[in-house]
Each structure stands twice: as C-alpha cells, then as structure tokens.
Amino acid sequence: MIPGLINCHTHVAMALMRSVADDIKLEKFLDRTFAIDAKRTPEDIAIGASLGCLEMLRSGTTTFLDIYYSEDVIAKSVEAIGLRAYLGWGVLDERFTTQKGKPVKNCENFIKAYKNKPLVKPVVAPQGVYVCSEETLLEAKELAAREKTFCHYHLSETRWEVYEHQRKTGKRPADWLAEIGFLSKGDMAAHCAWLTINEVRHLAKAGVGVVHCPTSNMKLASGGVAPLPEMFSEKVQVSLGTDGCSSNNSLDMFLEMKFASLMHKHNRWDAAVLSAQKCLDMATIDAAKSLGADKDLGSIEQGKKADIVIIDSSTPAMVPTREDNAVANLVYASPSSAVRDVIVNGRTLLRNRMVLSADEKKVLQEADEAARLLLSRSR
C-alpha cells in the first residue's frame, strides 16, 4: 500500500489532444495546440477530462491540480470518476482569451459554485506573465485571498518567456512578481525551469511552492533545468506534475518520479542528488504540503483521508521487491502497470484492475471518436 499519488500540474481535458504535436520545435508546437484547442466544444472538454481521469486512476494518481477554462465542465467529469481535484480556472487578460466574459469573473463564479464540494477544490489560475497584466495578476491574488484558496500559474517555463518579459519590464518574471507584490504564501508555480538563485529566494521568502514538470520540459526542449537542489536548500516546497497530454503524452506519475530523478542526476553529474525516496515524497507528502492539505493527504495515517493505492508486487516490473528496495522499485521501475486497487475518499474506484466508477469502454470509445472529430475540425 502507498498513499495516492498527487499530480500537481496538469491540463486534464487535454488528454483528448494526446500526441497531436510531437517532435517539432516549440513555436510550431504552440501554434498547433492552440489551433486545435480553439476548436474544442464543452463536450470535447468533458470527455477529455473523463479520459484523463481514467488514465490517472489506472496509474495510481488520486489527486491532481489543474489549469484550464471550463473547469465547471471538468468538475462534473472528476466527480463522476471519483478522483480528488484542485481545479484552477484560467485567468488572463481579456484581449488574449477565447472565454466569454471576463476570465477573473468566470473564475469567481466557478469558485462560488464549487467551494463546498467534497472532492473538488476551486483554485485561481492566472495563466502566466505573458498573458496577464499587473492588474489581472493582482485581481487574481485578491480573489484567491477573498475566497480562501490559492493561485496556481506557469512561471519561467521557457527562455523566450523570461527574456521577453525582461525586455518589456526590465525584470525577470519572478523578480517582477515579487516587486509588484503578487507572490503569496501557499501559491504554486509550475515549471520554474529558468530561475536564478535570487528568484528562488523570492519564492522561498513568499512561501510559494514549485511544481517540477521534467517530462514536459525535456520533451519540448525548454532547455532550462529547474534548480531543485537550490530550491531544497532555500526551503522551497517542491512537488511534481505531468503537464498536459499534448506536451507529455502521459499522465503517469510513476514516470514523472523516475524522470525527475534521472534529469537531475544527469544534469548535476551526481547520482545521489535526487533520491528515489525524495521523488516519492514529492509525489505524495510534499505535494500534500504544497496544497496545504497534509493534514488529510499524502501519507497513510489514522485520521487522514483514505486515498490509497495497492501495488501488486508480484508483477514482473516489481520482482524482486524487498523492504530495502521497495521505494527504488516504485520510482525507477515505473510500475504503473502494477497498480491493482485504488481507493479515493474511502471509496474503491479500481478493484483488481477493473474500473468500478465508470463505464471505461464507453469513455474510451467516446474519446476516440471525439478526438477524430476535433482533429478534422482543426485541419
């Protein structure tokens, strides 16, 4: 038994867009994914969210943190499958959005509608400095404080983002966010692949957590490597995320743990720099701390929520498993295929590898058809 894994950065509804833009440069990747995303319907988003939830369920993820628009649609899929989700409604300047109405107001309406749900926790999600003005960011911060939630956003994911913001403002993104008073305790910044030590210290001082997304960053050739050793040294809370299926192709947190460790071992020329145990912590208890939920999630203890995954250690990827190598097997053998049972909030959703909370065959058929139609509309 292990605690349910926690995916701290994804775009679950983009599961329908798996493998739509592979092996191309970032600029073409963005053009391709934005063009497809602009053609999506609420029905596409709903079935994409259901597909993503099923993938996470089968690979041992019980909780995830999301950024997208139409989170009200996604919430219904989450509740139907039975996962636990922190859903961040995308907030950005009106001139950049396809949302109807003002994004920050849409986010506020979503929070008011879902703030008392048992499995869905609404979050404010300012997209990033490249589409959010100072006014929008401070409105987002104010909304999060008023509604007693937090902000989740992309930060310093690419070199272009950093240099373009520096050209416009004279400051690197995290330095600028600190200067305008946006950084807040409990917020979570995704990627952070291009941070200086000074920016790391700004995050640490403000109490902002970082979500490391190694697979997405490597696949898109973002170039930078999030400075995790320095973050640990400065007491920044770090968790792991898969990002969406268009940039990662997978929502498998076992793979994310493995690639996180390997990326930093290779980058620092130090095989001990990021251990298997630390990677497992970042996907469980450290993630729960980042979400402000470690009283309920992240470990198997009396009084906590029953979010539990049972691994079949007799499957080939887990043999031999002993007390002294169990954690290494979980991280380096990447045994998502060994997930046998999943319990969320005390409810069994996967038993003996059979999904109990949804008609899996129907979801897969509908997702396959919806993806085909979406791609045909986007040509």
User: What pLDDT, in 10s, does the model give residues 161-180?
Assistant: 999 999 999 999 999 999 99
For residue 111, what pLDDT is reported? 98
Tokens representing residue 80 in the block: 């139907």
Q: Furthest-apart CA pair in the chain: how many Å?
A: 57
User: Over 80: is that where the pLDDT of 379 sits?
Assistant: no
- DSSP secondary structure, 25-81, as one string: -HHHHHHHHHHHHTT--HHHHHHHHHHHHHHHHHTTEEEEEEEES-HHHHHHHHHHH
User: Over 90: is that where the pLDDT of 89 sits?
Assistant: yes
* 347-351 sheet: strands from edge to edge: 2-3, 308-311, 339-344, 347-351, 354-355
Higher pLDDT, 223 or 170: 170
Contact assessment for residue 3 and residue 284, using Cβ atoms and an 8 Å cutoff? yes
For residue 220, what pLDDT is reported? 93
User: Over 90: is that where the pLDDT of 37 sits?
Assistant: no
For residue 378, what pLDDT is reported? 76
Least confident interval from 35-39, 73-77, 125-129, 201-205: 35-39
**CB contact burial 237-271 (16+ within 10 A = b; e otherwise):** bbbbbbbbbbbbbbbbbbbbbbbbbbbbeeeeeee
- Average pLDDT on 48-72 reads 98
DSSP β-bridge partners for residue 209: 188
Query: In the 8-state DSSP scheme, what is residue 156?
Result: S
Fold category of 2-377 in CATH: TIM Barrel (3.20.20)
| Residue 300: strand, helix, or coil | coil
Integer Cα distance of 248 and 251 in angstroms: 7
- Average pLDDT on 82-98 reads 95
For residue 309, what pLDDT is reported? 98
DSSP β-bridge partners for residue 10: 66
For residue 52, what pLDDT is reported? 98
Q: Is 38 left (phi over 0), alpha (psi -120 to 50) or beta?
A: alpha
For residue 80, what pLDDT is reported? 97
Higher pLDDT, 25 or 59: 59
Confidence of residue 38 (pLDDT cuts 50, 70, 90): confident
Confidence of residue 30 (pLDDT cuts 50, 70, 90): confident
Contact assessment for residue 215 and residue 22, using Cβ atoms and an 8 Å cutoff? no
For the chain, give the number of residues.
Answer: 379
354-364 pLDDT, tens digit each: 999 999 999 99
User: Over 80: is that where the pLDDT of 350 sits?
Assistant: yes
Tokens representing residue 194 in the block: 């291009």
Mean pLDDT of the chain: 96
Tokens representing residue 63 in the block: 């909780």
297-341 pLDDT, tens digit each: 999 999 999 999 999 999 999 999 999 999 999 999 989 999 999
Short-list 279, 273, 286, 232, CA closest to 254: 279
Which are the contacts of 202, defined by CB distance < 8 A and separation ≥ 6? 174, 175, 177, 178, 183
For residue 115, what pLDDT is reported? 93
- Average pLDDT on 33-46 reads 91
- H helix runs in the chain, sequence order: 26-37, 42-58, 71-81, 103-114, 134-146, 159-169, 173-179, 197-206, 214-219, 228-233, 253-268, 276-282, 285-290, 326-332, 360-377
In this prediction, what percent of the chain has a pLDDT beyond 70?
100
- Average pLDDT on 240-265 reads 97
In this prediction, what percent of the chain has a pLDDT beyond 90?
92
